Amino acid sequence: MPYDLKEIAAISGMPGLYRLVRPTRAGVIVESLDERGTRSVASARNKVSLLQEISIYTQDYDQTIPLTEVFDRIYQKHGTDLAITNKSDDRDLASFMGEIIPDYDRQRVYMSDIKKLVSWYKAVSSRLEYQAAEAEQPAAETSTEPAEQAAPKAQKKAVTKASTEAGTQQEEPAADEALSTAGIIPTEQEAAAPGNPEAATSAKKTKKKAE
């Protein structure tokens, strides 16, 4: 995992990104992902969207690209010195997005999403350490791996594939909300509502896996 995003989140009503510190009775203590590292409490009313659970729509309706992979692609091309900003010209931002994800869905990924992606990458790359992917094990070792150990890996791949389900188009998100491609976990009613564009929820993952 190039950038460890499992504890980094976007929180509704709170600009920027935050590191989750620990839960409290009133919500969760978070630390802003900036030089100040200010701590505050996000209440239970705030919608917390973990970056690790966010994906980007592609033109293939059965596939999305995890934000972790998107950040890795940006790093491979630009490193931590990303020249483009969220205030760059829309044409430059669209060109940048096409460079990173050539087949991104132009209908469901809005310009506001691309600007937010750039802002998030700059925040993450300036505060988190990039972790190079581990070298693959030799084929001989892989072929001799016990079946009991190999089974969980196959199961993990199935879950990953199931998580690529995406919905339909919606209005552009507010500035303090997660990307319109976010894998936010809604209530069952929200998940069943027509026109819900969010990536698959945990409930959907379970359902699809069962099928």
H helical segments located in the chain: 67-78, 90-100, 111-127, 139-143, 147-162, 188-192, 202-210
pTM: predicted TM-score of the whole model, two decimal places: 0.65
Alpha-carbon span 20 to 8, nearest angstrom: 6
Q: In this predicted model, what pLDDT tens digit does every residue of 155-207 receive, in sequence order?
A: 433 333 333 333 334 445 555 555 655 443 333 344 344 444 444 333 434 44
Neighbours of 88 (CB within 10 A): 15
Alpha-carbon span 179 to 197, nearest angstrom: 11
